[in-house]
């Protein structure tokens, strides 16, 4: 059954995400034609993540209680409907609203799919499983822009939005008809950890900070890179190629980097990924040709891919250890939403005051500051024992439903940070 779950989710996530990727190179230009600029342009991109930020934590927790399939299916159905709503937009304000509703529906898809995969990932191979599955996301986001630009050039700006809706509808039917419910949520819900306890763990804070910082860098680049490329003479199709180069390479590297995350320190890989991202973002305005932008996007893809499987693997460990895979994936993806909100908004603010080049220079400095914060919090996670606690997941907890979590006696002597877990259980929380 696990193989079936994996295949259905891989295809469904790939198809629906590829549709979203179709509009990647087009949306900034589409928004500009509607009169959006500066902060308004940032709001169009941030609105997607704002809605996802509000909805995702609740959906993740509910999926731990009620099961995951229903939320995934509903999300894909709504995603298909709002994909077509873009065609009715006439003003920048309407585009901000549609983008936000689109983001809300997307909040039901990726975190829930990741929680599914986290449930079936064996202990010690979380990086391999999550990295391989994440190929579906990166390849979809890479192929989407590659096809979206030519599709718009040949058939008009409406075509990518129609295809996006069709792919989301197809994914909905695939999930509805062929995806089984694992059924392990009922047992784990009885042993759940209070959200307040989970969020107090330094290792969880470090994961949230990592995801936020990396996503901030991405949120700075995606809305404003097309304008840099256009100023260097790039067509819509070439802009799609540039975006696809970054994401496709990151997707192809998910498998080897996922395996690496099962062998090398995951916090180390995450830290290297952050600082490498800062370096390549800073270099963007210094590229004076399409060729140099192309190679820099390849470097960006490599930097972005390095820490991604490691972060998801650690999130999987947390979800398993704290008996809340949906909750943990929601928290982890909340970091992505925060970064993708602040990135475009910050970029729009910097562009309005200092010009386009400083969007990337200033953005890279923020990523460096985030790197320093990440090092501090991860150090706390190591010193407090929070990191060791999730890494010492009992062997029989690697498979869903194997047996109850370790008893109080077995965990005697564990770090003091886990004490609230037992108080929470005793209070029935």
Q: Could you report the per-residue pLDDT of 127-167, keeping only the tens digit for each?
A: 999 999 999 888 887 787 778 778 887 887 888 888 888 99
Tokens, residue 405:
């979590």
Q: Which domains does the chain have, with CATH numbers?
A: 2-426 (1.20.1250.20)
Q: How confident is the model at residue 316 (pLDDT cuts 50, 70, 90)?
A: very high
Match 């970064």 to its residue by tokens.
339
| CA dist., res. 70 & res. 242, Å (int) | 36
| CA dist., res. 195 & res. 429, Å (int) | 9
| Interval 64-104: pLDDT, tens | 888 889 999 999 999 888 888 888 888 888 888 888 888 88
Kindly report the CA angle at 133 between 127 and 134, in degrees rounded to 5?
Answer: 85
| CA dist., res. 2 & res. 258, Å (int) | 19
pTM value is 0.81
- Per-residue confidence (pLDDT) for residue 41, from 0 to 100: 73
Q: Identify the CA nearest to 314 among candidates 417, 394, 390, 408.
A: 390
| Interval 180-217: pLDDT, tens | 887 777 777 888 888 888 899 999 999 999 999 999 99
DSSP characters over 208-269: HHHHHHHHHHHHHHHHHHHHHHHHTT--HHHHHHHHHHHHHHHHHTHHHHHHHHTTS-HHHH
Match 């270099």 to its residue by tokens.
283
| CA dist., res. 224 & res. 285, Å (int) | 11
Return the higher-pLDDT residue of 220 and 377: 377
């Amino acid at each position: 059954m696990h193989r079936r779950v994996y295949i259905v989710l891989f295809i469904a996530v790939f198809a629906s995400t590829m549709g979203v990727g179709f509009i990647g190179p087009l949306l900034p230009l589409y928004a500009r034609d509607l009169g959006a600029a500066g902060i308004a342009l940032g709001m169009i991109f941030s609105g997607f993540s704002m809605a996802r930020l509000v909805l995702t934590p609740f959906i993740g927790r509910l999926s731990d209680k009620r099961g995951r399939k229903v939320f995934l299916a509903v999300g894909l159905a709504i995603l298909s409907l709002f994909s077509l709503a873009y065609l009715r937009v006439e003003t920048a304000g309407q585009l901000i609203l549609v983008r936000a509703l689109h983001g809300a529906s997307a909040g039901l898809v990726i975190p829930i799919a990741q929680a599914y995969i986290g449930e079936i990932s064996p202990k010690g191979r979380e990086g391999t499983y999550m990295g391989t599955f994440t190929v579906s996301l990166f390849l979809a986001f890479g192929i989407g822009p590659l096809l979206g630009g030519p599709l718009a050039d040949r058939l008009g700006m409406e075509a990518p939005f129609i295809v996006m809706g069709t792919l989301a509808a197809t994914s909905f039917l695939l999930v509805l008809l062929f995806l089984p419910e694992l059924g392990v949520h009922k047992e784990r819900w009885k042993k759940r950890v209070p959200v307040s306890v989970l969020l107090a763990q330094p290792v969880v804070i470090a994961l949230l900070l990592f995801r936020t910082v990396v996503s901030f860098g991405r949120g700075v680049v995606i809305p404003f890179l097309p304008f840099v490329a256009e100023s260097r003479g790039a067509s819509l199709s070439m802009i799609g190629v540039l975006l696809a180069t970054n994401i496709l390479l990151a997707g192809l590297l998910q498998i080897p980097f996922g395996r690496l995350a099962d062998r090398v320190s995951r916090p180390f890989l995450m830290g290297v990924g952050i600082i490498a991202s800062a370096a390549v973002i800073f270099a963007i305005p210094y590229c004076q040709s399409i060729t140099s932008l192309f190679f820099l996007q390849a470097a960006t893809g490599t930097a972005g891919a390095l820490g991604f499987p490691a972060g998801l693997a650690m999130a999987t460990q947390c979800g398993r250890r704290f008996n809340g895979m949906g909750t943990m994936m929601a928290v982890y993806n909340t970091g992505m939403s925060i970064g993708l909100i602040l990135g475009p908004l910050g970029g729009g603010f910097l562009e309005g005051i200092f010009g386009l080049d400083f969007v990337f220079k200033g953005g890279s400095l923020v990523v460096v500051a985030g790197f320093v914060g990440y090092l501090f919090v991860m150090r706390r996670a190591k010193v407090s024992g929070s990191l060791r606690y999730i890494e010492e997941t009992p062997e029989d907890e690697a498979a869903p439903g194997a047996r109850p979590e370790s008893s109080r006696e077995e965990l005697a002597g564990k770090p003091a940070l886990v004490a609230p877990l037992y108080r929470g259980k005793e209070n029935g929380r």
